[in-house]
């Protein structure tokens, strides 16, 4: 007799015949590839390829040590070996990654001929075994996988010839450790759950989630129930999932843009803009590995959490070793390296008006004006020396000076100095002596970056003029006056300190700049954080590229990816752009709806690119949101109000409604959440949850309440120290930019925390769009007016 306490095992669900056929085809294909790989490895153990590289190195050393008459035959032998080695590489079959040999499968029909093409991370061709795996980054035929759907006719050019046909079969698969885990096809989605049972999922499964994670109308939880059910595709690893197979045609076009010039990716929360930017970086590195070496590429992100997140997924994209940093860290490090004599610390008392002035696009014009005035003054001095004596000499001098227009001032002065030395007949000895003296004086001024910085910030009338020309009425006279007074005082303190110091400090010296007078601490000399950008931009304009410490080698990157670019000011972006080679291979990814800083001078992509002199650059919009449900996307768009972008994002799935819960006190809210979160973690132990407050103090209060209630897997994240693992992270909204969680609870979503100003709209939008599956809002006072009226009316 069966034990009544034990639930009998349920029969596995029966797949429809069409889906069963799809599954059998994909399992047969995988088994065929894996079997072939085992047999191939056995054959390769018996015959190893000749190591021509070692032979070439030996020949090189032999040529270096040989006599002149013996070198020609050795060189001839070296050329012959080089040709053979090139041919070997050309016809090599490549390798198969047995853990995940491919992620896409197509069957192409061209006239009466059918061929199977697999898409993976490397190319492997064995036509005798009818196995063709092509690299998604390189092979022309891989374009078909991203640009066409099953049943589509195509017409492309491969190898100089036109090819047309039909994509008879197109499926994406997930293979983990040689095991088929998921199949996505037009006929439906198949998912293997943790019990190794195949189940049918939704047709719209894309980047995240699995069966059961997108709630349907007949399975939505009652209000007050957190969680939509977990199945086999919710992972313990909360890092970026494998999405290469799921790139859509629009995203593929962005990834494969030419390797020169600027690409701007505008995408809403969860649209994949960061992922697409990373895949573009991987694509460039694959296409030209010598130019786009890891040490010649840079990724700039918004916060330290995102920097750690991206660093851990780069190896999966074959671009391990690329530096990932925040702009603040990059600017601080470079300013300390280039100008080690300046104070190391930063003021925490900088007035808002000063921050706004120093980040404003008008100040970028002020820096340009200073450099232009200096160069124009030098040109006038040259004319003063040569004018009236020899018009030909004056024309030659002007031509030489103007030929370097656009280059850093020091470079132009050095080039002019060389011209003077190389053309002794064009100017007299006396004139040459006078001009050499002028060059020396102006070189000294051009190299004085700190002096230039102080002069720009200290020139009140010029600042007022620039702001009136650039943005009339945007800052009041009082705000400009207050900022000018602060800057003048700070600049004077620093200049006086530099004059007193006999020796500059070491770049590694993090000592305190506090001085003591009669045993009493005097005023601490500090820079404003925004000064780093001003100083570095002036360095670039006056002196040229920044230099690596000790090596004295220019810091030039071949490609830079800047994520969340809307939160950098035009001056900050100009600094990063100034670190890129002349080809200006740059990818900007961002979202105008997710602004975290309202004082950085960002007013839209068109204006930003115009400030940088790139107003003809096309912005590539990504419209599909792969992260959040339609309910979350609709809510977050309503929160933005008039600030919402014109392009409405497209959701790929529906889910649980957004819910609002009201309480009399935050302690009541903590008790309610503790019970709901404990139940969620018990039912879905692999879920990631973010409890997000507007302010850190509110996060502390709710964390204390949850901790007293012994809520499991609870973490307080106050300084970007996310673990990217299942559990509950209690944090504030400024910590979560760019991250994703299965569930999000926004606490104290009240009128006082989220008023109707633009900053609050953007911050609540950011918090809400961190959620993939379900969003709750909690308040212990009057709900924010940013919430839709219907939600405020039905709040519990």
> With 90 as the cut, is the pLDDT of residue 662 above it?
no
> With 70 as the cut, is the pLDDT of residue 489 above it?
yes
- Of 163-167, 383-387, 521-525, 790-794, where does mean pLDDT reach its minimum? 521-525
**Residue-by-residue DSSP string for 599-648:** SS----HHHHHHHTT-TTPPEEEE-EE-SS-HHHHHHHHHHHGGGS-SS-
Q: Where are the domains of the chain?
A: 17-44+95-203, 50-90, 242-360+475-622, 630-794
**Token couple for 271:** 């649209």
| Separation CA 299–CA 317 (nearest Å) | 14
| Separation CA 191–CA 708 (nearest Å) | 39
| Separation CA 747–CA 674 (nearest Å) | 13
Most confident of 76-90, 450-464, 578-592, 663-677: 450-464
User: What interhelical angle do 361-386 and 460-470 show, nearest 10?
Assistant: 120
- Of 127-131, 393-397, 452-456, 517-521, where does mean pLDDT reach its minimum? 517-521
Nearest Cα neighbor of 582 from 558, 609, 613, 615 is: 558
> With 60 as the cut, is the pLDDT of residue 235 above it?
no
Q: Please, are residues 267 and 564 in contact by the beta-carbon 8 Å criterion?
A: no
Phi, psi of 621, deg, nearest 5: -85, 140
Residue 764: CA count within 13 A, CB half-sphere: 34
Mean pLDDT of 448-477: 92
| Separation CA 661–CA 791 (nearest Å) | 10
Phi, psi of 453, deg, nearest 5: -60, -45
Counting residues of the chain whose pLDDT is more than 70, the rounded percentage is: 82
- Residue 373 confidence (pLDDT): 96
The residues with which 184 forms a beta bridge, in sequence order, are 172, 189
Q: Please, are residues 767 and 753 in contact by the beta-carbon 8 Å criterion?
A: no
Phi, psi of 622, deg, nearest 5: -110, 120
Handedness of CA 470, 474, 477, 483 (dihedral sign): negative
Q: Please, are residues 742 and 227 in contact by the beta-carbon 8 Å criterion?
A: no
Give the C-alpha distances (Å, rounded to integers) separating 372 from 367, 406, 690.
Answer: 9, 10, 50
H or E, element range at 700: helix 696-708
Q: Residue 579 CB: number of other CB atoms within 10 A? A: 20
Mean pLDDT of 318-338: 94
715's CB contacts (< 8 A; 6+ apart) are 723, 727, 728, 729, 730
378's CB contacts (< 8 A; 6+ apart) are 401, 413, 438, 442
Residues 575-624 have pLDDT tens digits of: 999 999 998 899 998 887 666 555 556 667 777 777 777 755 666 677 77
What's the distance, CA 677 to chain centroid? 32
- Secondary structure (H, E, C), 66-133: CCHHHHHHHHHHHHHHHHHHHHHHHCCCECCCCCCCCCEEEEEEECCEEEEEEEECCCEEEHHHCEEE
Counting residues of the chain whose pLDDT is more than 90, the rounded percentage is: 43
**Token couple for 641:** 């109000």
Nearest Cα neighbor of 27 from 40, 43, 11, 15 is: 15
4's CB contacts (< 8 A; 6+ apart) are none
| Separation CA 672–CA 665 (nearest Å) | 11
Q: How far apart are the first and last CA of the chain?
A: 48
pLDDT band at residue 516 under the 50/70/90 scheme: very low
| Separation CA 32–CA 669 (nearest Å) | 56
| Separation CA 626–CA 740 (nearest Å) | 11
**Token couple for 554:** 């220019």
> With 80 as the cut, is the pLDDT of residue 264 above it?
yes
| Separation CA 463–CA 470 (nearest Å) | 11
Q: What is the CATH number of domain 630-794?
A: 3.40.50.300
Residue-level length of the chain: 796
- Secondary structure (H, E, C), 155-199: EEEECCEEEEEEEEEEEEEEEECCEEEEEEECCEEEEECCCCCEE
* Helix, strand, coil tally for the chain in percent (to 5): 45, 20, 40
| Separation CA 451–CA 280 (nearest Å) | 41
- Of 160-174, 243-257, 457-471, 692-706, where does mean pLDDT reach its minimum? 243-257
pLDDT band at residue 244 under the 50/70/90 scheme: low
- Of 240-254, 519-533, 715-729, where does mean pLDDT reach its minimum? 240-254
Domains 242-360+475-622 and 630-794 share a fold: yes
More confident residue, 448 or 45: 448
Q: What is the CATH number of domain 242-360+475-622?
A: 3.40.50.300
302's CB contacts (< 8 A; 6+ apart) are 326, 327, 563, 564, 567, 596, 737, 738
Mean pLDDT of 17-21: 92
Nearest Cα neighbor of 602 from 573, 575, 572, 566 is: 566
- Residue 205 confidence (pLDDT): 32
| Separation CA 415–CA 417 (nearest Å) | 5
**Residue-by-residue DSSP string for 433-497:** HHHHHHHHHHHHHHH-HHHHHHHHHH-HHHHHHHHHHHSTTSS-HHHHHHHHHHHHHHHHHHHHH
């Amino acid at each position: 007799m069966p034990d009544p306490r034990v639930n009998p095992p349920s029969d596995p669900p029966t797949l429809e015949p069409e889906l069963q056929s799809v599954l059998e085809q994909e399992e047969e294909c995988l088994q065929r590839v894996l079997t072939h790989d085992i047999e191939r490895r056995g054959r390769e153990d018996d015959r190893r390829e000749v190591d021509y590289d070692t032979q070439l190195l030996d020949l090189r050393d032999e040529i270096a040590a040989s006599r002149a008459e013996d070198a020609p035959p050795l060189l001839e032998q070296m050329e012959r070996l080089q040709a053979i080695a090139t041919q070997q590489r050309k016809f090599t079959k490549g390798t198969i990654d047995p853990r995940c040999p491919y992620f896409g499968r197509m069957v192409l029909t061209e006239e009466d001929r059918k061929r199977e093409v697999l898409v993976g991370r490397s190319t492997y061709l064995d036509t005798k075994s009818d196995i063709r795996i092509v690299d998604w980054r390189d092979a022309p035929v891989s374009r078909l996988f991203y640009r066409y759907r099953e049943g589509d006719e195509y017409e492309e050019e491969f190898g100089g010839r036109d090819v047309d046909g039909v994509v008879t079969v197109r499926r994406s698969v997930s293979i983990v450790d040689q095991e088929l885990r998921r199949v996505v096809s037009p006929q439906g989605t198949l998912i293997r759950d943790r019990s190794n049972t195949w189940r049918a999922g939704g047709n719209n499964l894309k980047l995240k989630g699995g069966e059961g994670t997108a709630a349907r109308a007949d399975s939505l939880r009652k209000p007050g129930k957190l969680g939509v059910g977990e199945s086999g595709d919710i992972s313990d690893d909360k890092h970026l999932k494998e999405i290469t197979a799921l790139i859509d045609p629009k995203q593929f076009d962005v990834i494969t843009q030419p390797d020169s010039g600027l690409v701007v990716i505008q995408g809403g929360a969860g649209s994949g803009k960061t992922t697409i930017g990373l895949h573009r970086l991987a694509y460039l590195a694959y296409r030209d590995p010598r130019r786009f070496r890891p040490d010649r590429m840079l990724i700039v992100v918004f916060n330290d959490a995102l920097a750690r997140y991206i660093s851990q997924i780069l190896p999966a994209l074959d671009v391990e070793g690329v530096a990932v940093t925040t702009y603040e860290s990059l600017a601080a490090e470079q300013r300390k390296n280039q100008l080690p004599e300046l104070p190391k610390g930063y003021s925490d008392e900088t007035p808002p008006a000063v921050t706004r002035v120093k980040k404003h696009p008008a100040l970028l014009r002020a820096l340009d004006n200073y450099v232009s005035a200096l160069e124009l003054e030098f040109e006038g001095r040259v004319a003063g020396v040569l004018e009236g004596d020899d018009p030909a000499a004056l024309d030659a001098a002007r031509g030489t000076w103007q030929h370097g227009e656009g280059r850093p001032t020091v470079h132009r002065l050095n080039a002019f100095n060389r011209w003077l030395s190389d053309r002794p007949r064009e100017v007299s000895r006396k004139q040459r002596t006078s001009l050499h003296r002028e060059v020396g004086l102006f070189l000294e001024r051009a190299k004085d970056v700190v002096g230039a910085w102080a002069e720009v910030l200290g020139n009140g009338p010029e600042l007022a003029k620039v702001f009136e020309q650039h943005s009339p009425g945007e800052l009041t006279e009082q705000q400009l006056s207050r900022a000018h007074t602060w800057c003048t005082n700070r600049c004077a303190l620093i200049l006086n300190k530099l004059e007193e110091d006999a020796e500059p400090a070491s770049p590694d010296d993090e000592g305190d700049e506090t001085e003591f007078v009669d045993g009493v601490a005097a005023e601490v000399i500090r820079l404003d954080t925004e000064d780093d950008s001003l100083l570095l931009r002036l360095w670039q304009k006056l002196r040229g590229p920044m230099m690596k410490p000790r090596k004295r080698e220019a810091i030039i990157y071949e490609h830079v990816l800047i994520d969340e670019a809307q939160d950098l000011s035009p001056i900050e972006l100009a600094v990063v752009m100034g670190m890129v080679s002349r080809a200006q291979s740059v990818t900007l990814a961002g979202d105008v709806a997710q602004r975290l800083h309202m004082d950085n001078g960002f007013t839209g992509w068109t204006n930003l690119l115009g400030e940088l002199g790139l107003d003809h650059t096309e912005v590539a919009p990504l419209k599909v949101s792969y992260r959040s449900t339609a309910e979350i996307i609709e809510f977050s768009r309503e929160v933005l109000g008039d600030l919402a972008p014109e392009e409405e994002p497209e959701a790929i799935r529906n889910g649980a409604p957004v819910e609002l819960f009201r309480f009399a006190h935050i302690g009541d809210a903590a008790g309610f959440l503790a019970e709901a979160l404990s139940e969620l973690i018990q039912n879905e132990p692999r879920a990631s949850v973010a409890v997000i407050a507007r302010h850190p103090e509110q996060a502390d209060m709710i964390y204390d309440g949850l901790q007293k209630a012994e809520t499991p897997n609870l973490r307080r994240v106050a300084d970007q120290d996310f673990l990217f693992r299942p559990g509950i992270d209690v944090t504030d909204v400024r910590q979560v930019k760019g991250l994703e969680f299965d569930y999000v609870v926004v606490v104290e979503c009240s009128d006082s925390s989220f008023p109707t100003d633009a900053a609050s709209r953007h911050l609540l939008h950011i918090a809400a769009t961190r959620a993939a599956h379900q969003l709750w809002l909690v308040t212990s006072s009057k709900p924010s007016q940013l919430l839709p009226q219907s939600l405020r009316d039905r709040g519990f």
